[in-house]
Amino acid sequence: MDSSRLNALGWQAKINLGQGLAMAYQDFMHKISLQRPSDKRKQLSN
């Protein structure tokens, strides 16, 4: 991912892409684990 244009505007990433993906996946798995079992079945059937 090329962020050079954003960097030119003064923006700078605080974490790299790999870390961001890992954090997003961990958050997703955490939220899935908080759901009730019946909610999980409904999602899987859609």
Question: Residue 43's pLDDT is what?
Answer: 65
Comparing 35 with 45, the larger pLDDT belongs to: 35
pLDDT at position 45 is 64
Calculate the alpha carbon distances from 30 to 1, 19, 33, 45 in Å: 27, 16, 5, 20
Residue 14 in any domain: the answer is: yes
In a domain, 35, yes or no: yes
Q: Specify if 26 maps to a domain.
A: yes
Q: Is residue 2 part of a domain?
A: no
The answer to whether position 27 is within a domain reads yes
pLDDT of 1-42, one tens digit each?
788 999 999 999 999 999 999 999 999 999 999 887 766 566
**Residue 1 placed within a domain:** no
Q: Domain containing 36: what range?
A: 7-45
Domain count, the chain: 1
How much is the pLDDT for 31?
A: 93
pTM of the complete model? 0.57
All residues at 6 or more sequence positions from 13 whose CB lies less than 8 Å from its CB, including other chains:
3
The alpha-carbon radius of gyration of the chain (Å, integer) is 17
Q: What's the confidence (pLDDT) of residue 22?
A: 98
